Amino acid sequence: MDFRTGPIMAVDDGLRKYMISVFNKMFCALCLTGSVSFLCGTNPEILAVMQGGFSILLFIVTMGIVVYLSARINKIGAEKAQTLFWLYSALVGASISPIIASYTGESIANAFFTSAAFFGGLSLYGYTTTKDLTGVGSFMMVGLITVVISSFINIIFLKSSVIHLGLSALSIIIFGGLTMYDIQKIKGYYDASCDEQTIAKRAVIGALSLYLDFLNLFLALLRFIGNRK
């Protein structure tokens, strides 16, 4: 016999639809990023522009979009937030095209499917666990900042392939941990009492977080196990 009350069932159904919306948005954004990256990477003229430093400008623009979305999500409409997310995904695809173009197709496929399996398992754990993962998220964020600073130092001064490989391995662990934490956090964003616009905007922010987790996990795995052309 099912003893669940109507309101509880409504919350469960609403949460399910909300999480499906988050994952659908993330998946579409990844497809857009992959398509733009492929188009730019297979066009010698565009690829030359990206390799010439234009990707740095795109990186600055994309960071600006993330900051704007995070700061203004409560002030803008859901459609505008969604549009900015699609724009961000497309620009990221262009900016990473030189990286993707430097690896073999087999390496890209291996890294993608490994990332998908890894991401799927960690997402399931983050969604179902009753353990509070806030501490994990905080620890991983400290690790992420350390990796970013260390990467800049290595790129500019040390230029060590061994350190580069080690940082890639560490990044895999960090973004794996952030995936679990973000899934739990996104699940907690849902509030059945909120209006549709608010829920839709929270779904966009949630999708952005998971998009970044998956993309960075993929890039870290690509650097770690990939073979360059």
Predicted model pTM: 0.93
d(CA 84, CA 79): 9
Residue 76's pLDDT is: 95
In the chain, where the domains are located: 6-225
Residue 7's pLDDT is: 52
If you search the block for the tokens 């900016």, which residue do you land on? Answer: 95
d(CA 217, CA 226): 13
d(CA 93, CA 58): 10
What residues of the chain score a pLDDT lower than 70? 1-11
Residue 227's pLDDT is: 92
Residue 192's pLDDT is: 87
Nearest to 100 by CA among 33, 167, 29: 33
Residue 1's pLDDT is: 39
For every residue of the chain, DSSP letters joined together read -----HHHHHHHHHHHHHHHHHHHHHHHHHHHHHHHHHHHHT-HHHHHHIIIIIHHHHHHHHHHHHHHHHHHTTTS-HHHHHHHHHHHHHHHHHHTHHHHHTB-HHHHHHHHHHHHHHHHHHHHHHHH--S--HHHHHHHHHHHHHHHHHHHHIIIII--HHHHHHHHHHHHHHHHHHHHHHHHHHHHH--TTS-HHHHHHHHHHHHHHHHHHHHHHHHHHHHHH--B-
